[in-house]
A and B are shown apart, each in its own frame.
Chain A
């Protein structure tokens, strides 16, 4: 079945460092891919998404490219800030009969120090 494997954390970086969080997926078709972010004490909110191969999603300086050949959707940011400290979830959108369902990775805790 569909699944997402995400880099385990926690990840600790200094401000202005480069960030990569790896995400790979398994799916029977051509899913949509998402990154969600959870700030402390809050629910999840969509960070970026990509719906087909080679699409690049971007938001708030974060980017991720849908790579069908490597079944990956790695999250990157060139220069992280303290305010980026959060838990990041990679997710896959089902194309099957339960259209609307999301499959989540286990989440990666990011802490950025000043």
Chain B
């Protein structure tokens, strides 16, 4: 089954404690991205990757890091989380270079930073 898998689904952590949210896709998609969803703000892109070892900032990259060492995985790293990073996070993937391509989303990770 084609899917994007995020882990964990829920996470409560303390300020400053490094964490990683994993994302994996099984569709051989080149393009992967991370979004955060906040009430009244919709989805905002954090980082994206157009292929292995190619990553770039989205609209709200401050406080986040990513890596793309393998095509299927695109982890999101918070080196020193702060309460303003409390949010619902989504990973998505799609084929790059196709205008009508569908983006597939993970189930989301609800992060609370206290």
Contacts and interface: CB of A to CB of B under 8 A. Distances in A.
Is the A/B pair a real complex? yes
Interface stretch (B14-22, B35-43, B70-78): B35-43
A42 to B, nearest CB: 6
Interface residues of B, number: 29
A15 to B, nearest CB: 26
Contact of B30 (A6, A32, A100): A100
Contacts, number: 64
Contacts of B4: 43
A98 B40 CA distance: 26
B99 interface: yes
A49 B108 contact: no
A94 B42 CA distance: 18
Nearest to B56: A98
Given A106-B40, A106-B42, A99 B97 contact: yes
Nearest to B95: A100
A51 B100 contact: yes
Contacts of A46: 102-103
Contacts of A102: 92, 103
A107 B42 contact: yes
A49 B103 CA distance: 11
Interface residues of A, number: 24
A89 B42 contact: yes
A74 interface: no
Nearest to A6: B42
Contacts of A49: 100, 102
A45 interface: yes
Interface of B: 4, 30-31, 33, 35, 40-43, 45, 48, 50, 56, 90, 92, 94-103, 105-108
10 contacts: A42-B108, A44-B43, A45-B105, A49-B102, A89-B43, A95-B99, A99-B96, A100-B96, A102-B92, A104-B43
